[in-house]
Copies of this chain bind each other. A is one copy, B any other.
């Protein structure tokens, strides 16, 4: 669970510029191109031509029943990391922002948090000071915000937070900060008979509360890190209580394990953005037949955030080194995406 709770302190917060001439130029380019592309291509209209062509050529090959590379529909499993791949993960993992907001929300009922204790710096706005408390502080944060309640209560809390909380840099709700080109890619793959799954280091219950609406991906197609659960009777009513223990960490070599357990088929398409996704891409790309691996490279310091090899959040180092070896497409966000967020679209 560490991944979720490592705050990227050192990266300077870069303000988000969501309008201006740059966007105008992009949309004009898009219109110019539209005459030459098919209806299907329009589904990837926020992608520049080169990466779009590469994705489409692969999809056309593997869905052509006369092709040697044909993949039957039942084997068209596509997996996507979430943080940094389907939505932004800066200046901190959104799940961490949720946890901190929950502490603030619950603080009035916990005077002991304000007067003393681990959460005092957090409640005074000093996130860095709080994190200086190390693992003990993070575990306390996780416990107080994610456990000691039923799965249904937790689901409601995440849904409420998602409707009310806003991102510190953009002022947008967090679920508005999903990547438009990736939404188009999900749609495009689904339209071509692929089952799309999220395979994330993030908490499974956190994602399931909003991902169906945001991505059209139902809860049973979401794989993530998992905490302890206990089935108990509250009088005549059975509930599932969330326990303060990490049951499964769906990160790094855990991702292929989570895929095997929750999906049960080896994917043929995988997209990620960090070294935490390396094994998932590797497991996908080394399967028999024509496979597709994709890394989202955060290169856009103007429209989103720029970070890679040295970042504490979403570190991408080994993945960049080995992209050529495994024939992974490295998507340069600044160059390859015409639009970042849905609200940037005209």
Contact = CB atoms under 8 A, between A and B. Distances in A.
A283 interface: yes
Contacts of A263: 219-220
A136 interface: no
A340 to B, nearest CB: 28
Contacts of A208: 264
Given A204-B261, A220-B265, A230-B257, 9 more contacts: A74-B218, A195-B220, A218-B265, A220-B220, A220-B262, A229-B260, A231-B254, A238-B283, A238-B286
Interface in A56-102: 74, 77
Contacts of A262: 220, 261-262
Contact of A261 (B226, B237, B257): B226
**Which 7 A-B pairs rank lowest in CB-CB distance, beginning with the nearest?**
A219-B264, A231-B253, A208-B264, A231-B256, A220-B263, A229-B257, A240-B260
A208 B75 CA distance: 13
How many chain copies does the complex carry? 2
Given A212-B74, A257-B231, A283-B231, A220 B218 contact: no
Nearest to A255: B231
Contacts of A74: 212, 218
A250 to B, nearest CB: 11
A48 interface: no
A176 interface: no
A239 to B, nearest CB: 9
Interface string A215-232: 000111110001001110
Interface string A33-74: 000000000000000000000000000000000000000001
22 contacts: A77-B220, A151-B260, A197-B220, A204-B261, A204-B264, A205-B264, A218-B265, A220-B221, A220-B262, A220-B264, A229-B261, A230-B257, A231-B253, A231-B254, A231-B256, A231-B279, A236-B286, A237-B286, A238-B283, A238-B286, A240-B260, A261-B262
Nearest to A229: B257
Nearest to A212: B74
A147 interface: no
A256 B279 contact: no
A114 interface: no
Contacts of A282: 238
Nearest to A77: B220
A151 B226 CA distance: 22
Nearest to A263: B220
Given A212-B74, A262-B262, A279 B238 contact: yes
Contacts of A231: 253-254, 256-257, 279, 283
Contacts of A219: 263-265
A254 B208 CA distance: 20
Contacts of A218: 74, 195, 264-265
A254 B237 CA distance: 17
A286 to B, nearest CB: 6
Interface string A185-213: 00000000001010000001100100010
A230 B195 CA distance: 25
